[in-house]
Homo-oligomer: A and B are copies of this chain.
Amino acid sequence: MKNEKSTIHDIAAKLNITASTVSRALNNHPRISDETKRKVLKVAKQINYQPNHIASALRSGKSRLIGVLVPTANRSFFSSVIRGIEDLANSFNYQIIISQSYDEFEREVNNVEAFLNARVDGIIASIGKTTENFDHFQKVLQKGIPLVLFDRISNELDVSQVVLDDHLGAYLSVDHLIKNGCKKIVLFTSSQRINIYKERKRGYEDALADHQLDIDPDLIFYSNMQLEDGRRIATELLEKGVEFDGIFSASDYAIMGAMQVLKENGIQIPQQVKLAGFGNEPFTSFTEPAITTVDQKSIPMGKITAETFFDLLNKETSSELAKKTILKPELIIRGSSN
């Protein structure tokens, strides 16, 4: 039971042929006879041959590895997208290596660097919240390594990207709140440097405008939109006695926090205040009332992102034009607004 390591040379020796023939046989090269292929496969199985992808990657320059960078895999949205990518990648005999930035800029840079060192054949990424500088991605592009961004993108990078129509998602949601009677809707959003939060804010504003409602800057709150942020802002709203009858949050977590505080203060939902979140996190259907939210189409997004990526990978031409795909979100109406 020793460290059995077998190479194509071992196979070659047993068959009295050369390693190159074995290599070609294993790769199903057309110039190798069927009989030789059969023999090679047989011996390979017999001596428990395990291809060394490292050696192959070194020589061929192709690692068959795709780096997937997300803020955190621990989110239903990202994990669904990852699964979509993984499925297509595996079907093409590619492996993905997942790496998380935890929304920290330095980690993001390091992770991209690690991808480069690992000689990935391409990178699929969603940008972190704190990222303002894109040199690490520019470096990827300079090296001619295929890069596709999804969801959290940047207009500073001229690459293919797959996004949700965040503007529409927010618009539908706020429009729904207004139609259900809301007149003073609070907005929870985040850094306007992030495309998705900018778009969601635009959607909110446009929906208000289309219903001839004023946009009140005092009702707009910027934060990281974690649960605690939602709690804090809701507490502040109540303490200051701000008048409002609805909240649209660009994050399910923040609206969850706000709902907790409102309920703790005896405010009836949706009778007194209507709530809507964004992201369709599983827990939004567990709460009481369940939370109205916007589904981000994670499954199709993963699929399309992967397809876009492989298109790019297989395109000899350095692909003149970057392609942008925009998916339609779906408003999920639940008890918190209805």
Contacts and interface: CB of A to CB of B under 8 A. Distances in A.
Nearest to A283: B283
A238 interface: no
A52 B57 CA distance: 11
Contact of A114 (B52, B58, B95, B117): B95
A102 B90 CA distance: 14
Given A74-B76, A286-B256, A53 B117 contact: yes
A256 B263 CA distance: 20
Interface stretch (A79-87, A172-180, A185-193): A79-87
B95 A118 contact: yes
Contacts of A99: 95, 98
A53 B118 contact: yes
A98 B119 contact: no
A interface residue count range (under 10 / 10 to 19 / 20 to 34 / 35 or more): 35 or more
A19 to B, nearest CB: 15
B287 A118 contact: no
A286 B4 CA distance: 52
Nearest to A290: B260
A54 interface: yes
A143 interface: yes
A86 to B, nearest CB: 7
A321 interface: no
Contacts of A86: 100
A98 B95 contact: no
Given A54-B58, A283-B282, A98 B73 contact: yes
Contact of A142 (B1, B63, B76, B79): B1
A242 interface: no
A288 interface: yes
B63 A72 contact: no
A86 B98 CA distance: 11
A333 B120 CA distance: 47
A50 B117 contact: yes
Given A3-B144, A83-B100, A97-B98, A54 B63 contact: yes
A116 interface: yes
Interface in A1-52: 1, 3-5, 50-52
A109 to B, nearest CB: 13
Nearest to A51: B117
Given A142-B4, A282-B283, A118 B54 contact: yes
A75 interface: yes
Nearest to A111: B95
Contact of A72 (B58, B79, B116): B79
Contacts of A287: 286-288
A58 B258 CA distance: 54
14 contacts: A1-B142, A50-B116, A50-B117, A52-B58, A52-B117, A54-B58, A54-B119, A55-B58, A65-B118, A74-B75, A74-B79, A74-B80, A95-B99, A95-B114
